[in-house]
Amino acid sequence: MNLSYWCVLAAGVMPAVTVAIAKWGKRDFDNSEPRRWLEKQEGVRRRADAAHRNHFEAFPFFAAGVLVAQQLNAPQDTINMLAGVFIVARIVYTVLYLTNHATLRSLSWAVGYLCVITLFLIAAFHGA
């Protein structure tokens, strides 16, 4: 399996990691109504939940970008590089979100978003 597919897997796991951070070590966590409980949180737990939701939002666009680029035979090294940069950007995004660095977080988000746009563009220009 090539690197870009591993990156799709990593992107799919990121929401679970960030929601685990939001819930970790909190004794009053209510699994019968987890969203309601999460909405009452503050600070790092609230930001971890927001990152969790954003990872879910970013995933379909990224996965589609990788699959479209693969299907249209874009250069594999370029696909792998863009997928890797996307994952690094999302990890940095998460760290910056958790540590409350909003401007840098937005820049990291933009890097990841541009990687996905570029996946679609290379697919368009190298398509069959």
pLDDT band of residue 80 (cuts 50, 70, 90) is very high
Residue 38 predicted with pLDDT over 90: no
* Structural contact between residues 15 and 58, judged by C-beta atoms closer than 8 angstroms: no
pTM comes to 0.92
Q: Is 87 helix (H, G, I), strand (E, B) or coil?
A: helix
Number of H helices, E strands in the chain: 5, 0
Q: What is the pLDDT of residues 53-71, one digit of tens each?
A: 999 999 999 999 999 999 9
Q: Is 31 helix (H, G, I), strand (E, B) or coil?
A: coil
